Amino acid sequence: MAARIMIAFAARRCLSALPTLLIVITLAFFMMRLAPGGPFDQERALPPEIERNVLAAYNLDQPLWRQYLDYLADLTRGDFGPSFKYRDFTVAELIANGFPASLQIGGLAMLCAIVFGVGLGTVAALHQNSPLDYTVMTFAMTGIAVPNFVMAPLLTLLFGVYLSLLPVAGWGDGAWANKLLPVIALALPQVAYIARLTRGSMIEVLNSNYIRTARAKGLREGLVVTRHAVKGALLPVVSYLGPATAAVATGSVVIETIFDIPGTGRYFVEGALNRDYPLVMGVVVFYAAMIIALNLAVDLLYGLMDPKLRRP
């Protein structure tokens, strides 16, 4: 019975995600076409008949509505089309080549954000209104106020230029030294948000009746926190993980450019600068689908933790 309820819950979430993905695809498609310039404006002037043949080869001679419908039809077959800039590769191949680096940076950043954010928030809640609490919240406010595209150059100057401890750019075949600064720059704002969220939720849970009952039974404070308080305090954090993952995914576009990481974010920036419509659309669709899938996973996890949400 519980399994069927979860399956129905997941099916409702999937059906609600499809219109969202279609809206994202539609907006991205027409906004790219409305931007000034074209994919071949930087090429040398071509004779009119050759230019017509080039446009026809990439289906750019068709009306805009026809291009849109053809693109949707190709997407249903998993075809993102060829890249205008990287002419020896399809968009799917470029995304497949860049995604492992993006996955490592984003995954490590989210892991650090969850571990350190929950830990700092719990410590601050257990020492409410103490100097330790104020220190943690000051750090959190600083992390929220300073965006990662500002933090990244600061970290580069400090650890790469002044202290010469870490490389300032490049992937280095995925060496840990090359990953450290991008991961820190991506994780710091999320650590701050999760720490504040955990602190507020933990304080509320620690003052609830069932926690008072657990303490009255003589349970040690450590058991009260780990067995009873943490699960209730993590519910708001779990609901935040979807938007947090979206922030990390979109933030990695900037971080990958700053640190010269060969991920999908770099392809998005280069595609936008070169009006490479299929490449930009492919990255947008891929990121949107990934974010929707992660939000779905968070909804399912939240449903497991709070059975009331599984009711139709």
CATH of the domain at 198: 1.10.3720.10
Q: Would 109 be classed as within a structural domain?
A: yes
Mean pLDDT of the chain: 81
Q: How confident is the model at residue 115 (pLDDT cuts 50, 70, 90)?
A: very high
Percent of residues, the chain, with pLDDT higher than 90: 4
For the residues 47-61, what does the mean pLDDT come to? 71
Burial of 133 per CB tally in 10 Å (0-12, 13-18, 19+): middle
pLDDT at 26: 92
Q: Would 36 be classed as within a structural domain?
A: no
Q: Taking the model in full, what pTM does it have?
A: 0.79
Q: Would 190 be classed as within a structural domain?
A: yes
Q: Which residue has the higher pLDDT, 312 or 216?
A: 216
pLDDT above 80 (res 5) = no
- Could you report the per-residue pLDDT of 236-285, keeping only the tens digit for each? 888 788 778 777 876 678 888 888 888 888 888 888 888 888 888 998 88
Q: Would 58 be classed as within a structural domain?
A: no
Q: Which phi and psi angles does 78 have, rounded to 5°?
A: 75, 20
CA separation for the pair 163, 149 (Å, rounded): 20
Q: Would 103 be classed as within a structural domain?
A: yes
Q: Would 223 be classed as within a structural domain?
A: yes
Three-state helix/strand/coil letters over the chain: CHHHHHHHHHHHHHHHHHHHHHHHHHHHHHHHHHCCCCCCCCCCCCCHHHHHHHHHHCCCCCCHHHHHHHHHHHHHCCCCCECCCCCCCEHHHHHHHHHHHHHHHHHHHHHHHHHHHHHHHHHHHHCCCCHHHHHHHHHHHHHHHCCHHHHHHHHHHHHHHHCCCCCCCCCHHHCHHHHHHHHHHHHHHHHHHHHHHHHHHHHHHHCCHHHHHHHHCCCCHHHHHHHHHHHHHHHHHHHHHHHHHHHHHHHHHHHHHHCCCCCHHHHHHHHHHCCCHHHHHHHHHHHHHHHHHHHHHHHHHHHHHCHHHHCC
pLDDT above 70 (res 85) = yes
Q: Using alpha carbons only, give the angle 202, 189, 231 rounded to the nearest 5 degrees.
A: 25
Q: Are 290 and 139 in contact (CB under 8 A)?
A: no
pLDDT above 70 (res 306) = no
For residue 199, which of 130, 99, 145, 262 has the smallest C-alpha distance? 130
pLDDT above 70 (res 312) = no
Q: How confident is the model at residue 46 (pLDDT cuts 50, 70, 90)?
A: low
For the residues 94-119, what does the mean pLDDT come to? 89
For the residues 27-31, what does the mean pLDDT come to? 88
Q: How confident is the model at residue 78 (pLDDT cuts 50, 70, 90)?
A: confident
Percent of residues, the chain, with pLDDT higher than 70: 88
pLDDT at 40: 66
Number of domains present in the structure of the chain: 1
pLDDT at 116: 92
In terms of residue numbers, what domain contains 290?
91-310
pLDDT at 238: 81
pLDDT at 250: 65
Q: Are 260 and 101 in contact (CB under 8 A)?
A: no
Q: Would 306 be classed as within a structural domain?
A: yes
Q: Would 188 be classed as within a structural domain?
A: yes
For residue 185, which of 223, 159, 222, 204 has the smallest C-alpha distance? 159
CB atoms within 10 A of CB 89: 15
